[in-house]
Amino acid sequence: MTELLAPVGSKEALSAALRFGADAVYLGGPLLQLRAKSAGFTFDDIADAANAVHAKGKRLYVTVNALAYPDEIDLLPAYANELKNCGADAAIVSDLGVLATMHRACPQLELHVSTQASCTNHASAMTWYGLGAKRIVLAREMTIEQIRDLKRRIPDDLELEAFVHGAMCMAYSGRCLLSSAILGRSGNRGDCAQPCRWSYALVEETRPNQSFPIVEEGNASYVLSSRDLCCVGLLDELVDAGVTSLKIEGRMKTEYYVAVVTNAYRRVLDGTMTVAEAQKELLTVSHRPYTTGFYHGELPKDHSNAGVYTQTHRFAGVVLACENGVATVEQRNRFARGDALEVVSPVLSRAVLRADEIEDESGAPVEIANKVKAVLKIKTGLPLAPGDLLRKKI
C-alpha cells in the first residue's frame, strides 16, 4: 500500500494533516530534529500526537536527522527508548553513528534513513539495511529509472520513500555550508538562514563600493536558489518504480499549506481529482516556481525567478463549528463583508461561502474582519465541519 506522508511542525498542522488524508506524519522532537526549535515537539506533545495519529490508524515518525556531535551520541540510547515509549513508530536518521547507537539501544524502534544520507544506490541501501534500517528516504537527485533499478536489487521488506512536493535545497541532498559560512548558522544542524534564496549582486574587486545587479529578462536572477518540487503528475510512475512512501516537505509550513497540499495529493491518489485540477490547487499556497526535480533527468537550468514566492489565494480562517446555518470561524487574514471565501475541505469540492453577514462574538455586525484569531459568526447554507479552512483569492 502506498503511504502519503505529511509534515507537521505544529499541533494545528498535525490536525490538518490527519483531517486532509495523510497516512502518516513526521515531526521533530527535542533532539537533533534539523529544524528551528519552534518546530520541535516535547515528549508530552509527541505522546499526544502519537495517540491522535494511532486513533485514526495512521503512523508517526520523529526526525533525528541532524549530524551529531560527540557529546550528543551519549544522549541517544535514552532518547531512542523515550521516543518508543511516547508511541513513535519510527525515527528518521541521517548519521551512521546515530542509527547504530539508536538501534542497539532500542531495536524495537523502526529506523528510516534520511535523504540527508544521500543514498543513491543498492549497495548503500543494503549497508543501511544490514545495520537495522527499515526504510531508505532516497536522495532527491535520483531519476525514476534509477529508483526502479535500485528497487530490483534490494529485499522486499526494505521500503523506499521519495519526496514529491516542497522546497528543495541547491546542495546535494541538502548538505550545504553556505549559511554556516556567511552567518555561522549551519543548515546541517537545523539553523539554516536560507541565504541561497536571497537575490545577489556582482562586486568587482577594485570597486568594493559599487555593486552590479544580476538581471535576467527584467527580473532578479536567483542563481543559488532552486525551484520547488511538485510531482503530483508523477505519482503513478513513482509507485510503479517501487516507492512505498510519498513525502511532502514542509515542517515549517502553516496548517493551510499542509491541508491544501495533503488534500491535493490524497485526492489524486484516490482518483477523486485530476492531475490538472491538483496542479491548479497547488498554486493556491505560497511556493516558488515548480519543477519535477531530477525524476526525469537533470534539473532545469533556468533559475531566473526561482527565489520568487507566489500564491493565488490567502488563508482567511478556520471553521471551528457550524450549526443552524451559522459557521463559527477563527480568522487568519483580512476579509470583508461580501467577499467570496473558498472552502478547503476533504469532503466538499469547489464550495464557496459568501460572507454577506458577519458578526463578532457579541453579535455586533462586522464590515471588515482584520483581527487575527478573532472569532466570527458567518451565515452559510453550506454543511461545513470543524477543521475546514477558508481562503480568499488574491
52 within a domain of the structure (yes/no): yes
The confidence band for 311, taking pLDDT boundaries of 50, 70 and 90, is very high
Same domain, 27 and 88: yes
Looking at the structure of the chain, the number of domains it has is: 2
Contacts of 249 (CB under 8 A, 6+ apart): 7, 163, 165, 166, 167, 168, 229
Same domain, 234 and 142: yes
54 within a domain of the structure (yes/no): yes
Same domain, 287 and 318: no
139 within a domain of the structure (yes/no): yes
Same domain, 43 and 131: yes
Q: What is the pLDDT of residue 303?
A: 59
191 within a domain of the structure (yes/no): no
Same domain, 12 and 107: yes
- For the stretch 267-288, pLDDT in tens is 999 999 999 999 999 999 999 9
190 within a domain of the structure (yes/no): no
Same domain, 149 and 63: yes
Same domain, 23 and 57: yes
Query: Side chain identity at 389, as an amino acid letter?
Result: L
- Which H or E element spans position 24? strand 24-28
180 within a domain of the structure (yes/no): no
Same domain, 128 and 263: yes
Kindly give the interhelix angle for 255-270 and 11-19, rounded to the nearest 10 degrees. Answer: 20
Please give the share of the chain, as a percent, with pLDDT higher than 70.
93
What CATH code is carried by the domain that includes residue 353? 2.40.30.10
Domain holding 60, by residue range, is 3-171+225-291
What is the residue-averaged pLDDT of the chain?
92
Q: What is the pLDDT of residue 6?
A: 98
Q: What is the pLDDT of residue 3?
A: 98
Query: Side chain identity at 292, as an amino acid letter?
Result: T
What CATH code is carried by the domain that includes residue 125? 3.20.20.70
Same domain, 383 and 249: no
Same domain, 274 and 324: no
Residue 40's DSSP bridge partners are: 28
Cell digits of residue 77: 540510547
Same domain, 270 and 126: yes
Q: d(Cα 66, Cα 191) in Å, to the nearest integer?
A: 10
Same domain, 257 and 128: yes
296 within a domain of the structure (yes/no): no
- For the stretch 221-249, pLDDT in tens is 666 778 899 999 999 999 999 999 999 99
57 within a domain of the structure (yes/no): yes
What sign does the dihedral 184-185-187-192 (CA atoms) show?
negative
From 291, 325, 343, the end of a domain falls on: 291
| Burial zone of 213 (CB within 10 Å; 0-12 exposed, 13-18 middle, 19+ buried) | exposed
